[in-house]
């Protein structure tokens, strides 16, 4: 299994531009999570999906952020317009679910976003 | 004043020593706990988990202890190696959280050769 695959690994963009981060979860996993990690705030949950349906998006900072999961094998996190304070490492994770103790996440390698 | 960032707990040990990393959790309804290791430039990796009906679980060189009375979790690493240097996160699943884990802030472990 290739694990959770994120792209791109690094993204540098100018303020005001649209940024799209991509994630392919592990096949068969029912849950998908988007996290943001910064030195200031640590690891923050932005949004998560169960069977492609958004369950909790209360961590999404503002309307500039949106996430979709059109099918079980693909999700995107979009920032439009981007701002320098969005600079962070964005992680995608997936987990099997399906049982009370089957919630260990597998994380992707992350996308390091720099907005200048 | 303005925050200058998280001040993570740090632990420095010599190679070969045993390490103990601690974590306090707040929700007595949490029923599942996991330790993750995050190396520089990588995503967090699963190390070991434990259910709330257990007090102890052992893996390869790692042991997790759970004390539900004081809501405390610890990770013990035996014969610590330089490759163990990383940030370690505890995570808890609350019964009501429907699949979501709540992560602690993390502890920085540095192993000196």
Q: CA B67 to CA B100: how far, in whole Å?
A: 22
Mutation target vs B (from A103, A106, A109, A110; most B CBs, 10 A cutoff) = A103
Q: Is-contact A16 A81, C-beta < 8 A? A: yes
pLDDT at B26: 83
Q: Is A41 on the interface with B (CB under 8 A)?
A: yes
CB atoms within 10 A of CB B86: 21
pLDDT in tens, A42-90: 899 999 999 999 999 999 988 999 999 999 999 999 999 999 999 999 9
Q: Is A7 on the interface with B (CB under 8 A)?
A: no
Q: Is-contact B17 B80, C-beta < 8 A? A: yes
Residue B95 CA, chain-centre distance (Å), reads: 20
Q: CA B5 to CA B8: how far, in whole Å?
A: 9
- Is residue A15 very low, low, confident or very high in pLDDT (cuts 50, 70, 90)? very high
For residue A73, CA distances in Å to A5, A10, A21, A87 come to: 10, 21, 14, 26
pLDDT at B77: 98
Rg (CA), chain B: 14
Q: Is-contact B30 B95, C-beta < 8 A? A: yes
Task: Please tell me what DSSP assigns to residue A82.
Answer: -
Rounded to an integer, the average pLDDT of A92-107 is 79
With a cut of 50, say whether residue A97 has pLDDT above it. Answer: yes
B38 — phi, psi (to 5°)? -125, 115
Chain B residues contacting A via beta carbons under 8 Å: 3, 5-6, 31-32, 34, 36, 42-46, 49, 51, 89, 91, 93, 98-101, 103, 105-106
Residue A47 CA, chain-centre distance (Å), reads: 8
Q: How many CB pairs under 8 A join A and B?
A: 61
Which chain A residues are Cβ-neighbours of B42 within 8 angstroms? 109-110
Which chain A residues are Cβ-neighbours of B44 within 8 angstroms? 43, 91, 105, 107
Q: CA B91 to CA B68: how far, in whole Å?
A: 15
Mutation target vs B (from A1, A97, A104, A109; most B CBs, 10 A cutoff) = A104
pLDDT at B1: 41
The helix/strand/coil state of A84 is helix
Q: Which residues of chain B have pLDDT under 50?
A: 1-3
Q: CA B98 to CA B106: how far, in whole Å?
A: 23
Residue A76: exposed, middle, or buried by beta-carbon count in 10 A (0-12, 13-18, 19+)?
middle
Structure tokens at A19: 């940024």
For residue B54, CA distances in Å to A76, B49, B67, B70 come to: 38, 10, 9, 15
- Location of structure tokens 């990796």: B45
CB-CB under 8 Å, A95 with B99: yes
Helices (H), chain A: none
């Amino acid at each position: 299994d290739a694990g959770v695959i994120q792209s791109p690994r690094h993204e540098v963009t100018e303020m005001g531009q649209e940024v799209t981060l991509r994630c392919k979860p592990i096949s068969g996993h029912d849950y998908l999570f988007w996290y943001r990690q910064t030195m200031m705030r640590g690891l923050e949950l932005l949004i998560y999906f169960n069977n492609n349906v958004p369950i909790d998006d209360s961590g999404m900072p503002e309307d500039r952020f949106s996430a979709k999961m059109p099918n079980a094998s693909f999700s995107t996190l979009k920032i439009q317009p981007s701002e320098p304070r969005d600079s962070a490492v964005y992680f995608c994770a997936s987990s099997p679910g399906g049982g009370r103790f089957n919630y260990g996440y597998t994380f992707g390698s992350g996308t390091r976003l720099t907005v200048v | 004043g303005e925050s200058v960032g998280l001040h993570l707990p740090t632990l420095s040990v010599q190679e070969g020593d045993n390490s103990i990393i601690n974590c306090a959790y707040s929700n007595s309804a949490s029923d599942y706990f996991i330790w993750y290791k995050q190396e520089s430039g990588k995503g967090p990796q699963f190390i070991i988990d434990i259910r709330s009906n257990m007090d102890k679980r052992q893996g390869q060189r790692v042991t997790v202890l759970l004390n539900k009375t004081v809501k405390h979790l610890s990770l013990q690493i035996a014969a610590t190696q330089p490759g163990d240097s990383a940030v370690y996160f505890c995570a808890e699943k609350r019964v009501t959280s429907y699949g979501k884990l709540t992560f602690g802030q993390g502890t920085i472990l540095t192993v000196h050769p």
